Structure 1
Amino acid sequence: MNWKLTLAYDGTDFHGWQVQPDRPTVQGALADAIERVTGERVLPQGSGRTDAGVHALGQVASFRLNAPIPPANLHRALNRTLPPAIRVMGAEHAAEDFHARHSVSAKTYEYRIFRGEICSPWLARYVYALNWPLHVERMLAAVPLVVGEHDFTSFAATDPDLTTRQAEAADSGDDSDDGPETDGPGNVRRIFASELSLRETDEGELLVYRVRGSGFLHHMVRNLVGTFLDVGRGHFAAEDIPVILEKRSRAEAGATAPARGLFLDSVEY
């Protein structure tokens, strides 16, 4: 039977999604929990590989089991077995051809920036605490300029170890290759929506960036955020964004924003 799980997790203490030797990962913890519950060793495939420190509100995983266990029972049993930082939000049987990554039609990521004077310790693990002066109006003008189909090489991580990581992924059975998302030719991706908003919380004001797209390159969302922040600081103008895209060079864009502010919000099929 093919299974689909929807997961939420605090990525702070994990070395990302993909299983790694001698390091805690979300995929590894989930595989261990499934084995303890069912006696079967499987490697659940995620909708994408979140990096170390990145969180998820709606990660999706798929795998096959021989055990004839009802979905409600598997749901309860996994949550009793998994570490508290990982929760199964839903468990269901899936169509035979469903695959958590290959079947994706769109994903939404959210990045949270705290704008207060003092960031509460209860919030610090989940935001980029940043009290630099920012020209938010300029950022609002820049953010929509990435909507559409573009080559996002300027916003992709420079990865000299890609060949090694691909080999390790193949050995582990993880069929993803270049970062969190890999669908689409080369570094071309389609962004459906790119929005920036202010959100009030009990702890203070959050500047929230949300982006929905067909797929995302390694560090792409964090590099977009870092570049938009540079627009807010006056290092770039909003109209520089199309130029940065056209240059197709990582050196042209801004710094990579920290992982702790990033959430995989949802996955569409």
Structure 2
Amino acid sequence: MHHWKLTLAYDGTSFNGWQVQPNLPTIQGTLAAALHRITGETLLPQGSGRTDAGVHALAQVASISLATPIPATNLHYALNRVLPQSIRVLTIESVSEDFHARHSARRKTYEYRIFPRALYPRAIPPTLDRICSPMLAPYVWDCPYPLDFAALENAADYVRGTHDFTSFTAVNPDQTSRDESTSSETPEASFVRTIYHSSWHRSDGLYLYRVTGSGFLHHMVRNLVGTFVEAAARRISADDIPGILAARNRSAAGPTAPARGLFLVEVEYA
């Protein structure tokens, strides 16, 4: 068998997430179909994590094992010829048999992009809100609320370190098992993650959130962003974040931010 590590970029707008689903377009299913067309083999590529419907990736990682003795250069060319243009294979590397895209990962970085439509505080007299270009709209949260950027920064500071993120994962217990973790854990630690980096910055009129962690629970980044926006919109205080973490209750946190603003940026391996 030949073992490969694939790094992919994709526009998740028209896909129902990474994980294969019956009768629905997914990244995993589309990649599997392309591999079958090229090699005749039926296999399920293993991803570093299960991005949700509408979420994008700049560097998703997948691992595959093929019996077909095809050179990396030929496989790379063939995949990008067969796959839709919304999915591109950036690199293909030969790896050892024990490499697994998810289990071998050590850290992941996500970025969330907000288009702040309204100024903070709103101008007096009122002015028209900024208009989000339709070329940009599929890749940002076109947020209508005036956002205090300093409050976003303060709220993001509180989640650095090792915490129980139960308050920031999906409500459905079955969905929480759709885990972005990078290693196996005991049930008692199943909601505990370590966040190494959590910060906001401004670029080209956007508010960008970067977060790097040992792993991420289902909807965790989007729930963090939704809660930070609640603080920036002055519905809660940024200082409420420690209490929300301590509550270990999804209802204590803010709403889930839209999927279209989220990008998987990097997956790091030992």
Gapped regions of structure 2 (runs ≥ 5): 118-129
For residue 128 of structure 1, the aligned residue among 127, 136, 141 is 141
1:68 corresponds in structure 2 to 69
Distance 2:79 2:255 in 1: 38
* Secondary structure class of the residue paired with 1:24: coil
Distance 1:180 1:32 in 2: 24
What amino acid is the match of 2:38? V
Distance 2:233 2:152 in 1: 9
Q: Residues 100-249 of structure 1: matches in 2 within 5 Å? A: 100-116=101-117, 117-159=130-172, 162=174, 177-181=177-181, 183=183, 184=185, 185-200=189-204, 205-249=205-249
Distance 1:92 1:74 in 2: 11
2:261 corresponds in structure 1 to 261
Distance 1:139 1:241 in 2: 11
1:182 shift after superposition:
6.5
Q: Does the 8 A contact of 1:181 with 1:218 survive in 2?
A: no
Q: Does the 8 A contact of 1:51 with 1:180 survive in 2?
A: no
* Secondary structure class of the residue paired with 2:133: coil
What amino acid is the match of 1:186? S
Distance 1:186 1:267 in 2: 20
Q: Quick check: 103-112 or 233-242, which moved more?
A: 233-242
1:179 shift after superposition:
4.0
1:58 corresponds in structure 2 to 59
Gapped regions of structure 1 (runs ≥ 5): 167-176
Task: Output one character per residue of 1:183-202: Cα deviation in whole Å (capped at 9) or x when no partner.
Answer: 443100000000100011xx
Q: TM-score, normalised by structure 1?
A: 0.91
Distance 2:100 2:178 in 1: 18
Q: Does the 8 A contact of 2:107 with 2:214 survive in 1?
A: yes
Q: Does the 8 A contact of 2:9 with 2:90 survive in 1?
A: yes
1:135 shift after superposition:
1.1
Distance 1:182 1:105 in 2: 6
1:93 shift after superposition:
0.8
Distance 1:251 1:44 in 2: 35
Q: Does the 8 A contact of 2:105 with 2:182 survive in 1?
A: no
1:250 corresponds in structure 2 to 250
Q: Does the 8 A contact of 2:107 with 2:182 survive in 1?
A: no
Q: Quick check: 71-80 or 125-134, which moved more?
A: 125-134
1:124 shift after superposition:
0.7
Task: Output one character per residue of 1:211-233: Cα deviation in whole Å (capped at 9) or x when no partner.
Answer: 00000000000000000000001
Distance 1:238 1:114 in 2: 20
The size of the alignment, in residue pairs, is 252
What's the RMSD between the two structures over aligned residues?
1.3
1:83 corresponds in structure 2 to 84
Distance 1:228 1:46 in 2: 28
Distance 1:19 1:181 in 2: 19
2:121 corresponds in structure 1 to none
Q: Does the 8 A contact of 2:201 with 2:207 survive in 1?
A: yes
Task: Output one character per residue of 1:106-125: Cα deviation in whole Å (capped at 9) or x when no partner.
Answer: 00000000124111111111
Q: Does the 8 A contact of 2:116 with 2:147 survive in 1?
A: no
* Secondary structure class of the residue paired with 2:156: helix
Distance 1:102 1:35 in 2: 24
Distance 1:31 1:140 in 2: 40
1:181 shift after superposition:
3.8
What amino acid is the match of 1:249? N
Task: Output one character per residue of 1:37-92: Cα deviation in whole Å (capped at 9) or x when no partner.
Answer: 11111100000000000000000000100111111110010000001110000011
What amino acid is the match of 1:148? G
